[in-house]
Amino acid sequence: MGEFVRLEVADGLGTIRLDRPKMNALNAQVQEELAQAAAEASERDDVHAVIVYGGEKVFAAGADIKEMASMSYGEMLQRAPRLSDCFTAVSRIPKPTVAAVAGYALGGGCELTLCCDFRIAANDATFGQPEILLGIIPGAGGTQRLSRLVGPAKAKDLIYSGRFVPANEALAIGLADELCEPGTVYETAVARMSRYVKGAPLALRAAKESIDRGLEVDLSTGLAIETGQFAALFATDDQSIGMTSFVEQGPGKAEFTGR
C-alpha cells in the first residue's frame, strides 16, 4: 500500500484509490504508486474487476506542476518514458476497469481515465487536457488514447484549445460512458463493474487483449489475434464448465474457476 495510492478489495472488486490532498496531483510518487497498485490488481486472483477512484470531490486535477516547472529537458527526457509506463500499467490491467470520476479529471487525471475500459462521471464532473495552456502537450498518453477514443478531430480540438469539457459534452463525444448524480459516482461504478465479477476471468482477459491489441493493428492482424485467443480458451476449465452448464442448465448459470 502506497502513501497516496492504495488497492482496496471487496466482493471481487478492486478499488485503486487516489488520496493525495488536496487535488490528487499526480507527482512522480503517485505515478509509481499507481503502477504498483495496477500490478497488484493484475496479479490478485480475488480481484475480478477494477475501479479507479479519486474520491467524491476530485478525481485528479493533473500533474504536479510545481514538481515539473523546474525540470530541465534532460531531466524530463529521463522521466517521460517512466511517466508513460506508469499509466500504461493501468491500461494493461487484464481485467475490466472503470474510472469513477467526480469533480475534475484534468491533464494527467484525464489521461488516467483514458487508461480504463469505461468512464463513469458525476453529471457536474469536468474533463480536459489543458497542457497547451502551459506550453506543453499531454505526455501520459493523451494524444494517443484520446484520439482513439473520440476521434482525431475532436481530440485535436480539446488538446489544441485546452478547454474544459463538461460532463454532458463528455458523454456526447464518448469521453464518458455514463453519468450519475453527484455523490453517487462510486456506487454507480460498483453497480457497473459487478456485472463482470462472475464472468470467466480468462475469457475476459482474452476479450480485453483482443480488443486493445486489435485497435493497434490492421484488421487482418486483429482477426489473427482474436482467432488465437479464441482457440486458446478451449484449453481452459472455464470453457468446459461454461459449455456444459449451458447445455444442461441454459445460459448464465456457470460458476467459473479462472482456470
- Helix axis angle for 201-214 and 219-232, nearest 10°, is 170
**What are 170's three cell numbers?**
463528455
Asked if 8 is an active-site residue, the reply is no
- Catalytic residue, chosen from 33, 56, 111, 169, is 111
- Catalytic residue, chosen from 75, 131, 226, 255, is 131
DSSP codes joined into one string, 11-80:
TTEEEEEE--TTT--B-HHHHHHHHHHHHHHHH-TT--EEEEE--SS-SB--B-HHHHHT--HHHHHHHH
Task: Report the Cα 41 to chain-centroid distance in Å.
Answer: 12
The three-state secondary structure class of 184 is coil
Q: Which of 112, 106, 104 is nearest to 134 (CA)?
A: 106
Contact indicator for 234, 211 with CB cutoff of 8 Å: no
Sheet containing 164-166: give its strands across. Answer: 104-106, 126-128, 164-166
Asked if 56 is an active-site residue, the reply is no
**What are 176's three cell numbers?**
464518458
Contact indicator for 56, 142 with CB cutoff of 8 Å: no
Catalytic residues, which ones? 111, 131
